[in-house]
Amino acid sequence: MASFLLQRCGEILFENPDQNVKCVCMLGDVRLRGQTGVPAERRGSYPFIDFRLLNNTTHSGEIGTKKKVKRLLSFQRYFHASRLLRGIIPQAPLHLLDEDYLGQARHMLSKVGTWDFDIFLFDRLTNGNSLVTLLCHLFNTHGLIHHFKLDMVTLHRFLVMVQEDYHSQNPYHNAVHAADVTQAMHCYLKEPKLASFLTPLDIMLGLLAAAAHDVDHPGVNQPFLIKTNHHLANLYQNMSVLENHHWRSTIGMLRESRLLAHLPKEMTQDIEQQLGSLILATDINRQNEFLTRLKAHLHNKDLRLEDVHDRHFMLQIALKCADICNPCRIWEMSKQWSERVCEEFYRQGDLEQKFELEISPLCNQQKDSIPSIQIGFMTYIVEPLFREWARFTGNSALSESMLGHLAHNKAQWKSLLPKQHRSGAGGDGGGGGGPDPRPGTEDEEPTGTEGDAA
């Protein structure tokens, strides 16, 4: 079966979620094991980032002297070439999901457009393959495989590369976060005010950008890379360092997989540039730029979604919303995401303390509580953006639901504030926490005032 699939060219179309899930299992990113029975190395499975690896002067002579790795700048392949690039093919058979789990995953995929979709449960049901399974399903649901004449095996290979380039040891910036953002993006693409204007290219760009927007994230933010003189900070001249890296890594994987190799060169170049524009829009340093522009469009009522440029702008806004939508989820899921992103902050703070660096704001577990961080984040980052998104959608049912969850979750965090901070936690976030640099970002050091967060 595997041999047949590898020789097969052209598209593979499925009409229901059952076949989508089974296809993903057959094509296989589930628990590859080596001959020793030990789980094989995966991109994204290495230990938490070592401070020494961030110093670009320490091991510079070790890079790619024997064989060039196409995506050289990957944090993980900086020192570990992938098994596939080294020509080592797993010998053991694939371990497929059992039918009970397939049935539950299939049922969840039938409700992938609902806002209470539980991505944590879906990731467990797919054995850690939520991103691959979700994208295969959505590409089929939106008719993208047929429209762009994509080869299903090549598509799966590309999605596996993306999923494995997320670092699974990151509490927050991992493949589950990417799957969550992708599911949210799918919901936003279905908003009536937007959906009727979208082309297949718009939809594919939106889903791909959502899936890859944080690929190969190291679990530390841009200021950390700058003050440790990391080679990426030097390469991108301290400007949108990680967003540029996410974009370039994505382009490298697209080219390496040859997913779009059959399309005209001009079209693939346009896709690559638009993906970059979308991913770079998630830079928190540009938050005010996009928010001001959106407010102006809504005030002037001059958005023309028939125009490709206005449509692309709203895709950028949709991706920004999807990236920071965790506080707009139901409390049980929102709380998990909040704890995960703060754990990642605290790990960075511990690393900074260990190597006698100044601890970044909001990264000190002894001083910065999760409730105060989240209240600031919701007040200064999430609420302004989602109020404008609701205006754009005409206060759609989804927008009303998200704003309702946001208000409830903010009240929940306020109730969890230490007593001494509750009196100062009114409308301005209080608690001394200030705004979180959004749980989907890494670009700006967490700050304590609204002006600094911009």
Q: Which residues are annotated as a binding site for AMP?
A: 173-177, 214, 323, 374
- Gyration radius (Cα) of the chain, Å: 22
* SS3 at position 39: strand
HSE, side-chain direction, 13 A CA sphere, residue 279: 30
Question: How far, in Å, CA of 376 to CA of 452, rounded?
Answer: 12
Q: Which of 142, 173, 297, 405 is catalytic?
A: 173
* 173 among known catalytic residues: yes
Question: How far, in Å, CA of 37 to CA of 320, rounded?
Answer: 42
Question: How far, in Å, CA of 120 to CA of 175, rounded?
Answer: 11
Q: Which ranges constitute the DSSP H helices of 196-240?
A: 200-212, 222-227, 231-235
**Residue 299 backbone phi and psi in degrees, to 5:** -65, -45
Binding-site residue ranges for Zn(2+): 177, 213-214, 323
* SS3 at position 365: coil
Binding-site residue ranges: 173-177, 213-214, 323, 374
Question: How far, in Å, CA of 344 to CA of 350, rounded?
Answer: 10
Strands (E), 259-320: none
Query: Would you say 246 and 131 are in contact if contact means Cβ atoms under 8 Å apart?
Result: no
**Residue 192 backbone phi and psi in degrees, to 5:** -55, -35
The torsion of the CA quartet 69, 74, 78, 83, rounded to 10 degrees, works out to -60
HSE, side-chain direction, 13 A CA sphere, residue 24: 31
Q: Which ranges constitute the DSSP H helices of 330-446?
A: 331-354, 370-377, 383-393, 397-415, 419-422
Query: Would you say 362 and 345 are in contact if contact means Cβ atoms under 8 Å apart?
Result: yes
The torsion of the CA quartet 203, 189, 199, 439, rounded to 10 degrees, works out to -40
Query: Would you say 445 and 223 are in contact if contact means Cβ atoms under 8 Å apart?
Result: yes
Q: Which amino acid is at 111?
A: K
Which residues participate in catalysis according to the annotation?
Answer: 173
